[in-house]
Amino acid sequence: MSTTIPTSRRTASPSRAIGAFLDHADDGRATALLLALFVVAWTAFQVISYASLDLHPDLVEVFAWSRHPSPGYYKHPPLGALMAAGWFSIFPIADWAFHLLAMVNAALALFIVDRIARRSVSGDKRVLVLLFLLLTPFYQFHGQRFGSNQTLLATWPLVVLCFLRAFETRTVMWSIAAGAACALAMLGKYYSIYLIVSLPLAVLLHPARWDYLKSRSPWISVAAGLAVLSPHLWWLVATGFQPFDYAYAVHGGATLGAILSKAVSYLAGGIGYVAVPLIVWLLVVRPSLATIRKTFRPDEPDRRLLVNLLALPLLIPAITAPFVGVELTPLWTMQAWFLLPIVLLAPPEAIVARKDAVRVTAVVAVLTLVVLLASPVIALVRHLQGNKEGRAYYTPLTEAVDREWRAVTARKLSVVMGDADLGAAIGFYHPDHPDSVPGFTLDPTPWIEPTRLVIDGFVAVCRIDDGFCRAGLTAIAGAEPRAPVVVREVSVTRTFLGFTTPPAAYRVLIVPPRAGTTEERGTP
C-alpha cells in the first residue's frame, strides 16, 4: 500500500526547514551553517568547472611570491603572498587547495560583514544581509581569482568593524585594531587608500566628530597603522617605489577624456554589479518613498555613518581619477559594496515578512545548486572555447619542459624565466617548483642571485608568437658561454572528456647547470 503525500505538505517541508534555519539567525548558528555550505559548494564548483583549465596567472604569480616572503613585491604589496605562504605551509600545492583558499577568504569576508550587520539588524534580516551579497558575483566568481584585489574582500569589512568599535568606545585595544586593520588593507592593495581617506571624512560628517578627534583614539590608530606598515614603507623607499611604477604603467597615461569615460563606466558598472540585490530588496521590502529616503538619508547619526562609509569609497575614486590620472574599472568596486545590504535592511521601516525571507533563501540555495550541477558543462565549454591566457596548456607545457630538462640533466630545475605567466605556471605545476623570473632580468626577483643561474642552470620559455620574448630568449642563448645550450620548439595539446585542443607552440631554452654543483632531484 502506497501513501501519497499531499502537495501542500511536500512544499511546506522545505519552507519549514528554511524557517528553522532562519530561527537561528540571532544566535549565529545560521551564519555558521551558511558559510560552511558556501565554502563546500563553491569550492566544489571551482574545482569541477576549472577541471579543463589550470590556475589563473594571478594565482600562480601569488604562489611564486609566497615562496619568498617579503615586505613587498614589484607589482603589489605583500598581503596576498603572505596569506598564500601560510596556507601552503599547511595544504598541498594543488589546484583544489588554491580554490579552497579563495573560498575560505570569501567566507571570512562574509563572516566579518555579519559581525557588522548584527549591530544594526536582527532576525531574518541578519541572514538576508549575507544572502544579498551572495546575489552579487563578488564572493563566488570574482573571489575565486585569489590575488591582491581579493584580499580586500575581508580587509575592508575588518577596517570598518574595528573603526566603528574604536569610534564608539575610544578604547586602546579597538583603536590599535582599527589602525592595524587599515595597515592590513594597504598591504593588500594600495587602492585601500580610498577607504582610509573615507574614515576621517565620515567622522567629520558625524555629530560626535569632535569627541572622537579630541580623544586619543585616532592618534593611537595612526601610530598602530604606521607600526604595521613600517617594514613595507622601508621596502618601498629602498626599491624606489617599484609597485607605483608598475601601477602607472598598467593603468595610467590615458587621456583626460578616456579617464572621465572610465570613471562614468566605473560607477555605472559598479551599480550593475549590485542590481540583483537591489531588485530583490525592492521586491521583498516594497519600500515607500519615505522608507527609501530614510534608507539613504537616515536621521540617526550612526546609520548615516554607515551610509557615508558605503558611499565615500565608491565616489572618491571617480572624483579623483582625473587628478590621479588612472583609468578605473567597475570591478574595483567589488570590495566596497559589503555595507549595501546593511544599509538597505537597517531601517525599522524595512520590514521583511518571513515568507519573503524564506523565498530569498530558497532562491539563493537553488541558484547555487543549479550552478554546481552545471559545473561539468561549464568545464567543457571552457575547454572548447579556450581563453586568452592559454591556461589549458600550462600543465602539458610543464610536462614538456620537464622532459627537455631531464634529457639534458638529472639535476633539479631551479629557475624558469621568460614569459611571466608561463614561468609562474611552471613554478606551480612542476614537481621541483622552480622559482620564476618575469622576463629576463632579475630585478623583480631579488631572492635570485646571478650566480645561482650559473650554478643551477635555468630554463627560459616563450610563446612562439611572442616576438619580444623570443628576442630576449635568443639574446640570452647567444650570450651564454656554456655548452651545450639547447633550444627546442615544443607543441602541446590538452584533452578533456575526449576533446583535444588545437596545438600550441612554445620555444624553450635549456641552460644546464654547472656539473657537480647542484642537487639531484629527490636529494634532501
| Mean predicted lDDT score pLDDT of the chain | 93
* Domain total of the chain: 2
**Residue 13, pLDDT score:** 81
- Rounded to two decimals, the pTM is 0.93
**Residue 252, pLDDT score:** 72
Q: Tell me: do 433 and 327 sit in the same domain.
A: no
Percent of the chain predicted with pLDDT > 90: 86
Task: Pick the closest to residue 165 from 181, 151, 150, 189 (CA basis).
Answer: 181
Residue 56, all three cell numbers: 589563473
**Residue 127, pLDDT score:** 97
Segments forming the whole domain that contains residue 449: 391-511
Q: Tell me: do 199 and 254 sit in the same domain.
A: yes
Q: Tell me: do 107 and 234 sit in the same domain.
A: yes
pLDDT surpassing 50 at residue 70:
yes
Q: Residue 490: in which H helix or E strand, if any?
A: strand 486-492
Placement of cell 603589489 in the chain: 76
Q: Tell me: do 254 and 334 sit in the same domain.
A: yes
Q: How confident is the model at residue 5 (pLDDT cuts 50, 70, 90)?
A: very low
Residue 23 phi/psi, 5° resolution? -60, -20
Q: Tell me: do 400 and 371 sit in the same domain.
A: no
Determine the average pLDDT of the residues in 329-340. 96
pLDDT surpassing 80 at residue 524:
no
Range in 191-200, 241-250, 376-385, 432-441 with the lowest mean pLDDT: 241-250
Please indicate, yes or no, if residue 523 is contained in any of the structural domains.
no
CA distance 441 to 431: 24
CA distance 467 to 30: 55
pLDDT surpassing 50 at residue 73:
yes
pLDDT surpassing 50 at residue 518:
no
Range 159-184 burial, b when 16+ CB lie within 10 A, else e: bbbbbbbbbeebeeebbbbbbbbbbb
The last residue of one of the domains, among 325, 344, 375, is 375
Range in 94-98, 124-128, 226-230, 485-489 with the lowest mean pLDDT: 485-489
Please indicate, yes or no, if residue 368 is contained in any of the structural domains.
yes
Q: Tell me: do 318 and 461 sit in the same domain.
A: no
State how far the alpha carbon of 254 is from the alpha carbons of 47, 111, 143, 264, in Å: 38, 39, 28, 15
Which residues does residue 510 pair with via DSSP β-bridges, in sequence order?
A: 459, 486
Please indicate, yes or no, if residue 420 is contained in any of the structural domains.
yes
Q: Residue 519: in which H helix or E strand, if any?
A: none
pLDDT surpassing 80 at residue 64:
yes
State how far the alpha carbon of 444 is from the alpha carbons of 73, 87, 252, 312, 441, in Å: 7, 23, 20, 35, 7
Q: Tell me: do 351 and 398 sit in the same domain.
A: no
**Sign of the C-alpha dihedral, residues 234, 240, 243, 244?**
positive
Placement of cell 621541483 in the chain: 432
Q: Tell me: do 310 and 404 sit in the same domain.
A: no
State how far the alpha carbon of 63 is from the alpha carbons of 95, 147, 432, 436, 446, in Å: 11, 10, 14, 10, 16
CA distance 396 to 382: 17
The last residue of one of the domains, among 314, 348, 375, is 375
Placement of cell 502506497 in the chain: 2
pLDDT surpassing 70 at residue 480:
yes
Q: Tell me: do 248 and 315 sit in the same domain.
A: yes
The last residue of one of the domains, among 341, 375, 409, is 375
**Residue 250, pLDDT score:** 75
pLDDT surpassing 80 at residue 350:
yes
497 and 484 Cβ atoms separated by less than 8 Å? no
DSSP for 318-370, please give it: HHHHHHHTB---GGGGGGGGGGHHHHHH-STT----HHHHHHHHHHHHHHHHH
214 SS3 class? coil
CA distance 269 to 65: 32
Q: How confident is the model at residue 514 (pLDDT cuts 50, 70, 90)?
A: confident
Which residues does residue 509 pair with via DSSP β-bridges, in sequence order?
A: 460, 487
Give per-residue pLDDT as tens, 432-457: 999 999 999 999 999 999 999 989 99
473 and 432 Cβ atoms separated by less than 8 Å? no
